Chains A and B, each alone.
Chain A
């Protein structure tokens, strides 16, 4: 949805256009696993309906590049901006609840969402199209080790062995944008996702590791996950439970009205799930009685001794 409005594609931004991006999963061994474009074409070339449609659209024989163009063209039609919140902004004061409105104020203020998720008529998606390390990767056990090795690769020319280890048998993708730029600053950073329709695009974060928007709020409320590359703009927010509910209520007003039913269903499902379990919630950190990096610093010494 709304991918037509992205500047780069994939979580690490390695693809510049939809036409280009569409062809990648076909060849990716862990996705569709086609050895090459020609093999992929073989699978659909005999279909008369496809043949005719392609002929009509591109006035030439079916080919792999046009396949990308066609999928891209389809994706460009998937624009879903007509949300209750947009209607509210256009003057329909009943379009969203008071709770959601309070959530919008938090989104714009105390919860600090708006800086990375700006929403305005020039840029309505709620993404700054930048890459941030918000610490999600840091919850993966091997991230710290991967990051350490990555910085070593950058720092030393005596570390070939290390890079080899890094390359073999680890999940490099957790290094995010770094794998594209090899910039140290990009370690563990991923593109800010668009926030429209967020209610129905669960699970959340680049790795789908959070099930509900309450979990997402818990993640940001505690100031993300401390790691040496954490974006310092991710600060503990000290949001109360009521405030979290308000922000989540607001986020559910960003779904296109054509998905209203699904949205309502998701809202109820997620609320029920969140009532049962809030695995990320950490009030001590949200309230700043325990500080980010504090446990890392004090525990690293004790384990060394």
Chain B
């Protein structure tokens, strides 16, 4: 006679087995229990419902000390606190999240659009909140930070928007990819009108984003000393490819920038601006979007990269839904696992295995509610 243990019995049994396994420090049993509880397929290295297995583990396997992880926070779009508390709360929550990571990430990358309208007080408020991060901060500029005073205040607070640095054998390049051709002089716009135009995602008066010739030249020079198999991560605000022009999910000189990156074995580009789960791969370049702390964008109505597994349509009742922060786990080969820490949802990992296999391995869970 087949017996079906009741939910209660199963619950108690699983709990017992879980703790029993743990008490005996028997790792296998713990994994079995947690995998069973998840209904996850056996052998899945990165269960998607979990914050993935730490990179320290992966590093052990290869005997390399070059694996590490950093966190990201992005697109907070701050107004002053007494104008709008909601976006301030979002950034506070992200800082709280990142500060609770244990162990702490090597650094925190801020992906641009700290301010909504580039105003001094907005940027100062953002800088003030980001000072509470326990880990060191690396920051990038976004169009919302720039087009009121053409970057004056932002640079005063954070320095040059274009720079590079090396961390544990990885060369990081931070670009200002939101350079727009002058559309304002002809229209006789005030600085605030210019800012408001750029701040509207669907405002067609503005120009497409570019990296621009000056920075491309700088990039070429900066990368010159690197060998072709160097580990390279590019951080840009806009996606360094052409997705959807009407919303500037787009970099107009993307091909030229990609050409500079062409010779490297693997390149990872991590970009802000799109406020959503977004994955793409063009040849050797693996592209990952990041989440916003302020609001999620819908997906572009056309031109979506095949590799992208979209996130479920957020519920507007929860102003945090579809928002979040995340982590980037850098592998010894320079590819990354990209963790989207969606608030009030289980985190989603887009792994190196997924992008490297062109989407056939380690596929992230599909959304149950597409945007439309």
Contacts and interface: CB of A to CB of B under 8 A. Distances in A.
Contact of B8 (A24, A226, A233): A24
Contacts of B56: 158
Contact of A163 (B22, B85, B97): B22
Given A157-B27, A182-B38, A152 B102 contact: yes
Interface stretch (B228-236, B252-260, B341-349): B341-349
A185 B345 contact: yes
A204 B319 CA distance: 26
Interface residues of A, number: 47
A158 B22 CA distance: 11
A157 B11 contact: no
A231 B320 CA distance: 8
A298 interface: yes
Given A232-B343, A297-B99, A154 B51 contact: yes
Interface stretch (A38-46, A192-200, A247-255, A287-295): A287-295
Given A155-B52, A181-B37, A291-B88, A232 B11 contact: no
Nearest to B103: A156
B100 A288 contact: no
Contact of B81 (A14, A183, A291): A291
B183 interface: no
B132 A298 contact: yes
A184 B346 contact: yes
A298 B134 CA distance: 11
Contacts of B50: 154-155, 184
A294 B7 CA distance: 40
A156 B347 CA distance: 14
Contacts of B8: 14-15, 20, 24
A24 B53 CA distance: 36
A32 interface: no
Interface in A159-191: 160-161, 163-164, 167, 179-185
Contacts of A181: 37
Contact of A148 (B25, B93, B102, B320): B102
B85 A148 contact: no
A235 interface: yes
Interface string B1-29: 00000111001000100110011010100
A174 to B, nearest CB: 15
Interface residues of B, number: 52
Contacts of A153: 34
A164 B96 contact: no
Nearest to A24: B8
A293 B92 contact: yes
A292 B52 contact: no
B100 A148 contact: yes
A182 B25 contact: no
Interface in B185-237: none
Contacts of A115: 317
A301 B134 contact: yes
A133 to B, nearest CB: 8
A290 to B, nearest CB: 10
Contacts of B52: 155
Contact of A14 (B11, B31, B54, B343): B11
A25 B6 CA distance: 14
B282 interface: no
Given A148-B102, A155-B53, A156-B53, 8 more contacts: A20-B8, A153-B34, A161-B25, A167-B22, A232-B344, A293-B95, A294-B89, A300-B99
Smallest CB-CB A-B distances: 4 pairs: A232-B320, A233-B318, A293-B92, A155-B51
17 contacts: A14-B7, A20-B7, A154-B50, A157-B31, A163-B19, A163-B30, A164-B23, A167-B19, A182-B38, A185-B344, A226-B96, A233-B317, A291-B81, A291-B88, A294-B92, A300-B99, A304-B134
Interface of B: 6-8, 11, 15, 18-19, 22-23, 25, 27, 30-31, 34, 37-38, 49-54, 56-57, 81, 85, 88-89, 92-93, 95-97, 99-100, 102, 129, 131-132, 134, 315, 317-321, 323, 343-347
